[in-house]
């Protein structure tokens, strides 16, 4: 079964979150593996978010933000 087509806003939100997580990884010099361990998320979950193939849950956004020591909304801006 094919999923519904994403709206322009949904696509942009995926891109924004992925870009912000990638920026945090780069600016904090953190590996994906280290972030996954610290945030208690799977590598496949995080890679799917980073490559835009899935939308992150609120829980994932919250865990990743907490791992970086920032508020979750910062990954959405």
pTM score over 0.85? yes
- Residue 13 belongs to a domain: no
- CB burial of 35-44 (b: ≥16 within 10 Å; e: otherwise) equals bbeebebeee
The length of the chain in residues reads 77
d(CA 12, CA 5) in angstroms, rounded, equals: 13
pLDDT given at position 2: 61
The CATH number of the domain holding residue 35 is: 1.10.260.40
Q: What is the pLDDT of residues 29-48, one digit of tens each?
A: 999 999 999 999 999 999 99
Q: How far apart are the first and last CA of the chain?
A: 32
Sign of the dihedral through C-alpha 69, 72, 76, 77: negative
Residue 65 in this model has a pLDDT that exceeds 80 = yes
- Residue 67 belongs to a domain: yes
Total structural domains within the chain: 1
Q: What is the pLDDT of residues 9-24, one digit of tens each?
A: 999 999 999 999 999 9
């Amino acid at each position: 079964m094919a999923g519904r087509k994403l709206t322009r806003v949904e696509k942009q939100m995926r891109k924004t979150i992925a870009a912000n997580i990638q920026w945090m990884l780069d600016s904090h010099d953190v590996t994906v593996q280290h972030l996954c361990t610290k945030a208690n998320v799977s590598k496949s979950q995080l890679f799917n978010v980073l490559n835009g193939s899935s939308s992150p849950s609120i829980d994932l956004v919250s865990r990743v933000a907490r791992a970086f020591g920032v508020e979750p909304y910062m990954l959405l801006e």
